[in-house]
Copies of this chain bind each other. A is one copy, B any other.
Amino acid sequence: MDLTPRHATRRRSKADVREACRAAVIAEVTDQGLGRLSIEGVARRADVAKTSIYRHFSSVEDLLLDALADAMPVEQVSVHGNALRSDLLRSLEQLVGWLGGPHAPAVAAILAERRRRPDLVEALYARVFETHGSRFTRTVMEHYAVRGDVDPRLITPVVADLGEALVLKHQLDTGELPAPNELAAIVDEAILPALGHPRSLEKGPPT
């Protein structure tokens, strides 16, 4: 028998409440879909009063976008020297980690409702993706452009999208996320050549 008074479970710090709400909204949208997402469902799942949620977030959509933005990995670049290849690879590993986590299905739920909720899709790109470099690998590319290792004119929307496009296509075709050697192939065979670093095939087998 649990004798803890119910209000005790609610005496949580502001940070705890925000965190509980974020986890709950992601679980709710994944289970229920966007159409049935409600502040009541989130409150129940997080064991938080509706009024507490509204103290932190203006709406259930606001909470959802906050939770997604909070979970986006921050792309890292090496501090010393030219590590373009390994930095690109790490960025794709972060993407794969994110795709394997709980937030990617929530993003898929939003994108699936594009026709009914174009406003929310637009807010997703503006608040979640654009504020995190717009595409995985883009922050890395721009870092090396500033250093002079990459011609900035090569960093077009198509080129910045190569990593995400090829990782998602792999998942679509196979139902699996790419393995490390498959990420390396994406970097070596597609991204680096597009950034002006063609493949060296000298050691390859004769044709």
Which A positions have Cβ atoms within 8 angstroms of B? Answer: 111, 114-115, 118, 121, 125, 151-154, 156-159, 161-162, 164-166, 168-170, 172-173, 175, 182, 185-186, 189-190, 193-194, 196, 198-199, 201, 204-205, 207
Contacts and interface: CB of A to CB of B under 8 A. Distances in A.
Given A162-B190, A168-B172, A190-B190, 6 more contacts: A151-B201, A156-B189, A158-B182, A158-B190, A165-B166, A189-B194
A158 B172 contact: no
- The 6 A-B residue pairs whose C-beta atoms are closest, nearest first, are A165-B169, A165-B165, A193-B193, A158-B189, A158-B185, A165-B166
A187 to B, nearest CB: 9
Interface centre among A125, A169, A186 (most CB of B within 10 A): A169
A196 B201 CA distance: 11
B194 A152 contact: no
Q: Copies per complex?
A: 2
Nearest to A155: B189
Nearest to A189: B158
A167 to B, nearest CB: 9
Looking at chain A's contact residues, is the secondary structure mostly helix, strand, loop, or mixed?
A: helix
Contacts of A157: 185
A159 B201 contact: no
28 contacts: A115-B175, A121-B175, A125-B173, A151-B201, A151-B207, A153-B204, A153-B205, A154-B199, A157-B185, A158-B186, A158-B189, A159-B189, A159-B190, A161-B170, A162-B162, A164-B169, A165-B165, A165-B166, A165-B169, A168-B169, A168-B172, A169-B169, A189-B194, A190-B190, A190-B194, A193-B193, A196-B198, A196-B199
A161 B165 CA distance: 10
A186 to B, nearest CB: 6
Contacts of A194: 189-190, 193-194
Contacts of A204: 153
